[in-house]
Amino acid sequence: MSSMTLESKILERWPVERWSDLTMVIGCSGGADSTALVLALKRICPTSTTLVLAHWNHKLRGAESEADVAFVRHLARRFSLKFVEGEITNLSQGPLGNQMNDQPSTDEASLRVMRYRFFEQSAYNLGARYVVVGHHADDQVETVLHNLFRGSGLSGLRGMPAFRGLGQDLVLARPMLDVWRSEVLDYLQMHKQSFRTDSSNASRLYTRNRIRNQLLPAIQEHYGRDVRAAIANASGVLGEVFDDIDLQSQSWASENLRNLNDRCFQLAPDSITRTPWQIVQQAIINEYHRRRWSVGGYNRSHWESLRRFFSLEDRSVNCAPMLPDRISVTRTSEGFTFEQRVTSSPTNYLGS
C-alpha cells in the first residue's frame, strides 16, 4: 500500500484548505486508529495548523490506562505537539453516575459522553475550530448495525456523519470514514509506528465488541467480505435521504420549537400531528444535540411512546413516560415541554 492511500482518502473527504491556519484538537486514545490519524495529520498539515493531542483517561483498566496516557504524552512530545489530558475524579456524582447504587456508570453511552465533553471543553479552552477523531469505515459498519438492532430511525441507520456541530463555532470531524481498519494497520506498519491495544476490546460486556468480534465474522462467513462495503454503501444512500429530512426539520423547528431556558424547550402542539413524524423526531434530536443532551440511550420504543403521547386525544394524560437521562415531557395548553431534571451535583473533572 502506498503511504498516500490513507492520507489521500483523508484529504479527499477533508481538503486541507478547509482547516489550514486553524487549531484542531485530536482525540487520541493511543490505539491504532487515533495514532494513525495523528501520524497522517502531522505529515499532511501545513505548518500554520496547530495540532493538539487530547487524551481522556476513563481509569477503568488500572496500569493499562496509565500506560495509555504515557504513550500519548510521548507521541505528542515526539511530534512537538501540545498535549492535554483529563480524567474523572468522582464517577459516582452527577448526570453520568448510577443514581441507584452510587457506582460509576461504565456503559458505552456514558463513557462516550464523558470523553466528548472533555474534548469539547479542551477545544474551547484552546480556541480550536475542530475536534478530530479516528473513526473509520469498519467503525461505521458496526455503528449502523448497532443502531439497526436498537431500532434507530434514519439518523441512526445513516451512521456517523463525517462532520457535525459539537457546540458554538466547533465542529466534530471524522476524516477517516472512507478508510478501512486493514488500511490503518498497513499504514502504521509501513511507518513503523507502534500503538496501544485496549484489552477491553475483547470483552463481551460491550455491544460493539460483540458486533465486531462475533456477529460480523459470522455474516462474512456466509456472505463474504464485501458485506461490510455493502453496509457502508447503504448507509451512504440513507445519509442522502436523511440530509433532506434534516433540512426540513430545521425549517419546521424554526417555526414550531421554542427555547424556554437551559433545561427546557417546547414544541407547538398544533403542527405536530400535521407534520411527518420523521421531521418532528429529527427536530427533537437536533435540539438535543444543540443542548448537548444525549440520544444514545434512546431506542424505537422511546420514540414510539413519545409519538403516541403527541397524538393522544385524551387531554387528561398530560405527562409522557420518563425518557432516558431524566428527560420529562409534559403537555400544557401552550405545547409539549421537554425538561431535563438535574441531580444534586455535577460530575467533577480533572484536566491539564
In a domain, 34, yes or no: yes
CA distance 279 to 74: 47
Residues 60 and 167 in one domain: yes
Residues 299 and 197 in one domain: no
Residue 109 clears pLDDT 80, i.e. is over it: no
Residues 82 and 53 in one domain: yes
CATH number of the domain that residue 88 is part of: 3.40.50.620
Any idea which of 32-46, 245-259, 299-313, 336-350 has the lowest mean pLDDT?
A: 336-350
Contacts of 343 (CB under 8 A, 6+ apart): 93, 94, 95, 97, 99, 326
Cβ-based neighbour number of residue 314 at 10 Å: 6
**pLDDT band at 315, cuts 50/70/90?**
low
What pLDDT is recorded for position 149? 87
Residues 161 and 24 in one domain: yes
What pLDDT is recorded for position 199? 80
Residues 31 and 65 in one domain: yes
**pLDDT band at 141, cuts 50/70/90?**
very high
Residue 179 clears pLDDT 90, i.e. is over it: yes
Mean pLDDT across the chain, nearest whole number? 87
Task: Give how many domains the chain has, as a whole number.
Answer: 2
Residues 171 and 119 in one domain: yes
Residues 246 and 183 in one domain: no
Residue 183's alpha-carbon distances to 30, 145, 173, 249, in angstroms, are 17, 21, 19, 37
What pLDDT is recorded for position 103? 42
Higher per-residue confidence, 131 vs 295? 131
Residue 154 clears pLDDT 50, i.e. is over it: yes
What pLDDT is recorded for position 106? 56
Is-contact 28 61, C-beta < 8 A? no
Higher per-residue confidence, 154 vs 26? 26
In a domain, 235, yes or no: yes
In a domain, 226, yes or no: no
Any idea which of 11-25, 196-210, 222-236, 257-271 has the lowest mean pLDDT?
A: 196-210
CA distance 27 to 18: 19
Higher per-residue confidence, 332 vs 8? 8
In a domain, 225, yes or no: no
What pLDDT is recorded for position 343? 59
Residue 184's alpha-carbon distances to 4, 29, 135, 138, in angstroms, are 12, 15, 11, 11
In a domain, 45, yes or no: yes
In a domain, 135, yes or no: yes
For helices 32-44 and 4-13, the axis angle rounded to 10 degrees is 80
Q: Encode pLDDT of 208-236 as tens digits.
A: 899 999 999 999 998 877 899 999 999 99
The parent domain of residue 235 ranges over 231-340
Higher per-residue confidence, 327 vs 207? 327
What pLDDT is recorded for position 233? 93
